Amino acid sequence: MDVVNTNSLQDGVKKESFDANEVLKYDLVVVGAGPAGCMAVLNAPSWMRVLMVESSDMPRDIICGGVLSKRSHELLSRYGIPESVFSSPKFIDRRLFDLKQKHSAGILGDVYFNIEHTRLDKWLLDKVFCRDGIEAWPRSRFISAQSTVSGNKLRVCIGRSGRKHVVETRYLIGADGTDSSVRRSCGWKAPARWMTMQERIISEGVPVDCFMTFLNNDKDFYGWVIPKGDHLLIGAGYDGSSEDITERFRYFREHLSKKHGIDGVLTQPARIQNVTRLRSRRQIATGKSNLFLTGEAAGLASAWTGEGINYALASGAMAGLSLDSDNPASVYREHIKQLMPQVNKEMALSRVIRRPFRRKLAYAFAPQASFMRS
């Protein structure tokens, strides 16, 4: 597995002036209160005193389609995921539309669970706060980390309420997404990004009961329409070029209206957010020694859709479980290797869909019985 590792946490780390008399002590600091961070805390040894740091409110308010794979649902079922987390319809099939080739096809075997992301975040946080020894700092930002003189602990600087706080910890987990401050502060290059835009409407057009995905081989583009009760989430990911993302999103909305009859009253204005766009396994960084990266902070996301929640849940759980071993860094890397078959599959698919000729061959040998014009 090609992953980024470092030999010293000192490289690229901004040096802070620490006052030992003001140092707060924890066994584990988790930066990021999303699915990756919550799963890390839930799977960490129960004796650990944990500090969870989140730059926004808890739960967060982010762009997310809220679609779970079967594997992620199985993982969450161990914690008793409640029915209130799911949206309607609970089970959705995925249909893929090729905007350039004029094909569409259902994807066999791809049945997803439809959730409301904010409800999932809140439920996971409630589970986290039920464990002993947990402290949470919302609206706080990670600034830097450096090894102690002994090398077996970290000194972490955190900005909170206009002040800098110094925390000493045995372990640090970066679960803070694509624009990870933990990854960046340690001098590790950020993974490639997509710019995503998503809005929410009450549909006045045809009913939608499937997870609709759209591709266009002219540009690096991925679009989606996901039913959420009487609402629809409409979003798209772009390569982040200089073209106006708002204008490109407008063209996509026009296509949905003209070709699929999808239109309606806007209930949540379109928002823009960066997501990880995995181009190479070399972008994946697991961390080193007593610092770990999970989810999109580690570069783990679908190479062809940019979707990250399923990798976040899996890698977060793996990071937490690794802490109950004699060599957590090595154990965590071994755990991450379990995700590589899926990573490789999605990267191969991404290479296929970027080339029209390859896509035509894929259509010819696809297991679906028939294709329809989009």
User: Per-residue pLDDT tens for 115-126?
Assistant: 999 999 999 999
E strand map for 32-85: 50-53, 67-68
Q: How far apart are CA 132 and CA 161, in angstroms?
A: 25
Paired tokens of 88: 């309607």
CA angle 358–248–94, rounded 5-degree value: 50
pLDDT at 16: 40
Q: Is 57 exposed, middle or buried (0-12, 13-18, 19+ CB in 10 A)?
A: exposed
Residue 1 pLDDT > 90: no
Q: How far apart are CA 361 and CA 368, in angstroms?
A: 13
Query: What pLDDT digit, counting tens, does each position of 22-39 carry?
Result: 789 999 999 999 999 999
Residue 171 CB contacts under 8 Å (≥ 6 apart), including other chains:
27, 28, 29, 154, 290, 291, 292, 323, 328
Nearest to 131 by CA among 195, 56, 31, 52: 52
Place of tokens 């209130």: 84
- pLDDT band for position 97 (50/70/90)? confident
Residue 77 CB contacts under 8 Å (≥ 6 apart), including other chains:
none
pLDDT at 218: 60
Q: 350 or 184: which carries more pLDDT confidence?
A: 184
Q: What is the mean pLDDT of residues 164-179?
A: 95
Residue 273 CB contacts under 8 Å (≥ 6 apart), including other chains:
62, 63, 195, 196, 197, 198
- pLDDT band for position 215 (50/70/90)? confident
pLDDT at 169: 96
Place of tokens 């650990």: 48
pLDDT at 105: 64
Residue 335 pLDDT > 70: yes
315 and 300 Cβ atoms separated by less than 8 Å: yes
Q: How far apart are CA 225 and CA 200, in angstroms?
A: 10
Pure H helices in 70-162: 70-77, 117-130
Single pTM value for the model: 0.87
Q: How far apart are CA 2 and CA 4, in angstroms?
A: 7
